Amino acid sequence: MSRLVCSFILFACFATGLAADTSDDQPIGGFVPKRIPAYIALVLFGISAIIHWIHFFTVKPTRRFLISLPLGMTAMAIGFALRIVYTYPPFTLVRYIAWDLFILLSPCAFLAGLYMLIGRLVAIFDQEVTDRCLLIHSSRIVKFFVWSDFWTFNLQGNGGGLAASKNATLSKVGNWIALVGLIFQALSFLFFTCVLLIFGWRVRAHFPAAWRPQNPRPFKVLSRQPIDDWRILFYVMCATSVGILIRSIFRVAEFAGGATGSIATHEGYFYTFDSLPLWLAMTLYCVVWPARALNEHSGQMELQALHKVLV
């Protein structure tokens, strides 16, 4: 994921013909980012990233697909660090593109993790449950959402890089490309949220025994102990979906208003409707690491399904 981000940064610089570290007398983007909020965001995302990495390496068995969660948190922290670096001074195009794309594209890692996570979650149940409760057949669910995340990532990466160009035409085209990517991403994730909610509702309505596990062990916060009640992870995924949807809607509104619009040039909106919802949503997995609620059988099944998608 990080290699793709860097590739898009280099592509954007090449496409605009402004890869040199040149300066101007006006801040790029129309405003100078405040350092204090960026420092706070850097610390918060950094702490969450560290906890994610600890869970990833210590909770056994290791679920390799979950690496997208700590990678996303780490990329967000890097984005805010680059945002701070950009302010010394705030006139450098390459630095602007770097922090902007890291913060814009990092949530794609979160989405990729959630898209694969739902495949593993439903694999806990018998085939009859998944066939009756899923809107998409279990064999296609990961493929559909992972590929949608891949294409929206491409659109946002290329569009976001071009949008930073000092050439008005290229900037406008890039803004629209990124906007299309954000709209498709929002619609795709909205559909994912519907699939998740309807699955839970149908399991509760039609398979009450599967909905409520018998005699589960008490849930322990920040523990490596397995979670017997799958609904804990389900509820966390629902809460996460709310935060990501808020961020997705905000980003669509931001790019629809243009690079010099009121939303894009006022940081209060960005921190309230982008950074904070994302941090709250993904920090929930510091408390409920998904691997704790997935049994070995589901892990093997989903690994095979993911291999078919990528190969």
Q: What is the pLDDT of residues 13-47, one digit of tens each?
A: 443 343 344 445 666 767 788 999 999 999 999 99
Residue 25: the pLDDT is: 60
DSSP state for residue 32 in the 8-state scheme: P
Residue 167 binned pLDDT confidence (cut-offs 50, 70, 90): confident
Distance CA 65, CA 69 (A): 9
- Nearest Cα residue to 68 out of 149, 122, 10, 144: 149
Tokens of 112: 């990729």
Residue 195 binned pLDDT confidence (cut-offs 50, 70, 90): very high
* pLDDT tens sequence across 156-165: 988 887 877 7
pLDDT (mean) for 50-66: 92
Phi, psi of 228 (to 5 degrees): -80, -30
Report the predicted TM-score, pTM, of the whole model to 2 decimal places.
Answer: 0.84
Residue 169: the pLDDT is: 79
Say which CATH topology domain 2-310 has: Rhopdopsin 7-helix transmembrane proteins (1.20.1070)
* pLDDT tens sequence across 256-291: 988 778 888 889 999 999 999 999 999 999 999 999
Omega of the bond leading into 89 within 30 degrees of 0 (cis) = yes
Distance CA 158, CA 283 (A): 28
Of 144 and 300, the structure prediction assigns the larger pLDDT to 144
**3-state secondary structure (DSSP) of residue 135:** coil
Residue 143: the pLDDT is: 86
Of 55 and 18, the structure prediction assigns the larger pLDDT to 55
Q: Is pLDDT above 70 for 298?
A: no
- Nearest Cα residue to 279 out of 39, 66, 77: 77
Distance CA 244, CA 282 (A): 9
Mean pLDDT over the full length of the chain: 84
Q: What number of residues does the chain have?
A: 311
Residue 9 binned pLDDT confidence (cut-offs 50, 70, 90): very low
**245 near 189, Cβ under 8 Å?**
yes
* pLDDT tens sequence across 68-108: 999 999 999 999 999 999 988 777 888 888 898 999 999 99
Q: Whose structure tokens read 């008005």?
A: 168
**116 near 301, Cβ under 8 Å?**
no
pLDDT (mean) for 160-179: 82
Residue 173: the pLDDT is: 87
Of 138 and 254, the structure prediction assigns the larger pLDDT to 254
Residue 13: the pLDDT is: 43
